[in-house]
Amino acid sequence: MQGPSPFYACLFAFSAFSLIFYIFVLFIIAKNRKTAPFNSSFFTLALSLGIIDCIVIINSYATVKFAGWGWIPDFYLSTNNANGSTFRELMAANGSSRLALVSQVLAWGPAAAQYVSVLLTAINRLTAVYTPLRHETVIF
d(CA 65, CA 72): 11
d(CA 47, CA 92): 34
56 phi/psi in degrees, rounded to 5? -65, -40
Domain count, the chain: 1
Residue 138 has a pLDDT of 66
In a domain, 125, yes or no: yes
The overall pTM is greater than 0.85:
no
d(CA 24, CA 30): 10
Q: pLDDT (tens digit, 9 = 90+) per residue, 40-56?
A: 889 999 999 999 999 98
Least confident piece of the model among 29-38, 69-78, 89-98, 108-117: 89-98
In a domain, 105, yes or no: yes
Where residue 70 falls among pLDDT bands split at 50, 70, 90? Answer: confident
Q: Domain range for residue 99?
A: 6-137
Residue 96 has a pLDDT of 47
Where residue 97 falls among pLDDT bands split at 50, 70, 90? Answer: low
In a domain, 1, yes or no: no
Residue 95 has a pLDDT of 45
In a domain, 117, yes or no: yes
Residue 100 has a pLDDT of 57
CB neighbours of residue 68 within 10 Å: 11
